[in-house]
Structure 1
Amino acid sequence: MFETILGILLIIGFKTRITAVLSGAMLIIFALGLTVGTGFKTSLDYSVFSASAGAFILIYFKKIPYSIDALLMKKTVEAKSFSIESDK
């Protein structure tokens, strides 16, 4: 259930950095457990390490167009500029 929720949040782009950290940590823990339980080849077959790395790479993107984060950031910037203009 947690994996599904994090996946949906990553797809829609809501709180991307926090979601990416949680997804990457969850996937790396799963990859390590899979490696201990069934061997290294199985975790490579299921590409768990690369999925974890992909999640961690999302942390470094400052702006992600077409996401809820970008929409919220745009509204925040517009509200700040409106309040500055109204103070003059």
Structure 2
Amino acid sequence: MPRNSSTPLPPNPKYTDGEKHIHVKLAEKLVATRLTVTDISGGCGSMYAVEIASPQFAGLSPVKQHRMVTEVLKDDIKQMHGIQIKTAAA
């Protein structure tokens, strides 16, 4: 069944609270068509890997795409040790 583009992509039910928080923010703000958030800090929430595809990235360089992600997460990133970002236009 096709996903309604006006409905944010739902988070994986297996996500931790931190993963879900990041997923919801990115899915809503960047209209993600594909999105995976993984806590790569061993569960303490200090580092995440994000893979996101969004139509809003079309025509933008990877640097500009990454800036869009970090802008959405700027308050959260202040509490992290690091973040890995992979983006794609979709």
Please classify the TM superposition score into its range, dividing by the shorter chain length.
Answer: under 0.3
Structure with higher helix content: 1
**Larger RCO: 1 or 2 (CA < 8 Å, sep 6+):** 1
| Bigger Rg over Cα | 1
Structure with the bigger percentage of strand: 2
Normalized against structure 1, the TM-score is what? Answer: 0.27
